[in-house]
Amino acid sequence: MKKAVQRILTLALLLLFASTVLASGAAGLDAEEAMKKLMDGNRRFVSESYDRGDIGPGRRAEISKGQRPFAVIVDCSDSRVVPEFIFDQGLGDLFVIRTAGNIVDDIAIGSVEYAVNHLGVRLVLVLGHDDCGAVKATVAGGKAEGHIDAILQAIRPAVAVARQQPGNLLDNAIVQNVELVVRRLQSAQPVLAQALQTGDLKIVGGVYRLKEGSVDWRLPQPLQQSPR
């Protein structure tokens, strides 16, 4: 009986903690503030006026007590697309999921859910990039060796949509792939879909330009354009 009461009390405390985290948001930032922080960071990156983010011993000591990232980035594993550099952020700022072609499976979606539910993150950005090898390989067609084919399979629906569109097939497929992943996350039940319904969460898309260093904000209804 005593153990049961203890368990209930522990559960109540955990729920209280979780609701406090959710109410305050990660790092105290809501989706709009988090978006602004990413955009400002990208502007600094493009204009070479970096803060370089906080990666010093003081920051390490601070975040050793717990992480409070302000955004989730679902990004391509491509070595040229490094979120902390692109958005000029430091340690503990971004919760990053990287796969070739910035696609998501159940484990990646679970990682996003963890950041939203347990770390209180309010903004998820799916970030594609131009000249993406994974999308290029899918556009080229055929079957890839080993587990690589699973990546191509995930991107194929985006390429199929892009084939119906006018303009450059690869560029369109890259945008479609970002949109597909955004929609997949938006409809992921129960955690993400419900968080979106309450208006606590935003899931947006963008395409990073390798040469320019800028991000074209794609979805949904961009707040503003990135500088060119």
Which residues contact residue 116 at a Cβ distance below 8 angstroms, ignoring those fewer than 6 apart? 72, 122, 124, 191, 192, 195, 201
Least spacing, CB of residue 168 vs Zn ion, in Å: 16
CB contact at 8 A, 177 and 154: no
Q: Kindly state the DSSP code that residue 84 receives in the 8-state scheme.
A: H
Judged by CB under 5 A, the number of residues near Zn ion is 3
Whose Cβ is closer to Zn ion: residue 116's or residue 162's? Answer: 162
User: Are 126 and 132 a contacting pair, CB within 8 Å?
Assistant: no
Which range binds Zn ion by CB under 5 A, 68-76, 152-160, 171-179, 207-215?
Answer: 68-76
Q: How far is the CB of 178 from Zn ion (least distance, A)?
A: 11
Q: Which is nearer to Zn ion, 76 or 158 (CB)?
A: 76
- If one asks whether residue 78 binds Zn ion (CB under 5 A), the answer comes out as yes
Helix (H, G, I), strand (E, B) or coil at 183: helix
Query: Closest CB to Zn ion among 75 and 88?
Result: 75
Using CB atoms within 10 Å of the CB of residue 47, give its burial: 0 to 12 exposed, 13 to 18 middle, 19+ buried. exposed
Does 75 engage in binding with Zn ion (CB under 5 A)?
no
With respect to Zn ion, which residue has the nearer C-beta, 92 or 101? 101
Which stretches of the chain bind Zn ion, using CB under 5 A?
A: 76, 78, 132
